[in-house]
């Protein structure tokens, strides 16, 4: 994994494979944890994502039901979708590992959803205690 420093954001950016998808990966405020290299930090984030992959998938699947209940409107060219149809339309678009302090961090996974949710997306966030929260964005 090769990193590029982004000075304006005090972050390191790279491409990597996350959950079988090649996507942008960014580490924000890496200097807070000076004893870790950017590669160590990337490993921490990617291992946490891998460990929680089934729970992350479950959250995406739950959004299929939310979409059908709250957004789908066959009269407005927004048909209800099966879970498989929905999952095929949702694509991982980026991962951000935001280091808040020596002990606090968050990993945000951003999903592009095409026309679903009015063109918005989905954000899944994992905190340092491995709690996952989910929301639509955009």
Q: Is the pLDDT of residue 109 over 90?
A: yes
What's the Rg (C-alpha) of the chain? 16
Q: What are the pLDDT digits (tens) for 12-34?
A: 999 999 999 999 999 998 888 88
pLDDT at 31: 85
Res. 138: pLDDT tops 90: no
- Which tens digit of pLDDT belongs to each residue from 56-107? 999 999 999 999 999 999 898 889 999 999 999 999 999 999 999 988 999 9
**pTM summary value:** 0.91
Residue 27, Cβ density class (10 Å: 0-12 exposed, 13-18 middle, ≥19 buried): buried
């Amino acid at each position: 994994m090769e990193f590029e420093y982004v000075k304006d954001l005090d972050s390191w950016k790279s491409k990597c494979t996350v959950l079988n998808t090649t996507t942008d990966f960014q580490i924000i405020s890496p200097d807070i944890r000076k004893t870790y290299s950017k590669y160590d930090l990337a490993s921490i984030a990617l291992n946490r994502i891998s460990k929680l992959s089934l729970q992350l998938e479950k959250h995406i699947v739950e959004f299929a039901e939310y979409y059908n209940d709250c957004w789908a409107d066959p009269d407005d060219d927004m048909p209800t979708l099966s879970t498989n149809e929905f999952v095929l339309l949702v694509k991982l678009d980026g991962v951000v590992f935001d280091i808040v302090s020596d002990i606090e961090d968050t990993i945000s996974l951003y999903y592009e959803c095409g026309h679903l949710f009015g063109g918005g997306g989905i954000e899944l966030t994992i905190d340092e205690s491995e709690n996952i929260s989910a929301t639509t964005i955009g």
